[in-house]
Amino acid sequence: MPSLPPSVTPDWAFEREHWRRGYFRVAGVDEAGRGAWAGPVTVAAVILPGLAQDYPFRDSKQLSPAQREAFAAEVRRVAVCWAVEHAWPDEIERLNILGATHAAAARALARLDPAPQALVTDYLRLRTPLPLLAPPKADALSYSVAAASLLAKTERDRVMTELDAEYPGYGFAAHKGYGAPAHRAALERLGVSPVHRRGYAPIARLLQRGLFSD
């Protein structure tokens, strides 16, 4: 495994709160891409073995791409179960970004087998009958949420690389659909593609100017 950068180390504190109440299958949930201008928002759900052992997992934002890929592979290897779901721009436009994130999370959780008994999320207050802890920065503090962060980020990056090949010129593989200067310049040059989020203000302004892609 690659070496880790100095960072906050996750632990099991939030999971233990659920364990003390008799909920032992605790799913961590996290998303990637909520602020992007293009592509999906991606949500992962992961149940790790409840052995309270240390893992190398960290918030994906603290890691290099190579580290994220290595740790994501380890998550898939050790997890009791995991699932990843996307909400694409048409769903985001229909439900708004928060609603689409909740919908993708519900789909990911429904695919977990065995089903979770409780949840920990990164400040995502899901509408769920399950006991839920949603502290801020949980992706840096909880092993389960850090594991979900790794799967969501690496899977979304893979999708954006595929979209880069399908819609060349926008630079999706580099900026992953976020509002980088190169992305802004490409939009001015090429117009708005089918995978851009048309309800987002910067994209809506371009559409008002008639900047559609061919």
Annotated binding site for a divalent metal cation: 30-31, 122
In whole angstroms, give the CA distance from residue 173 to residue 38. 12
Which residues does 8 contact at the CB level (< 8 Å), separation at least 6? 59, 140, 141
Annotated binding site: 30-31, 122
CA neighbours closer than 13 Å in the CB half-sphere of residue 33: 34
Beta strand residue intervals within 56-209, DSSP E: 81-87, 118-121, 132-133
Distances from the Cα of 181 to the Cα of 149, 174, 175, 204, angstroms: 26, 12, 9, 17
CA distance 58 to 52: 15
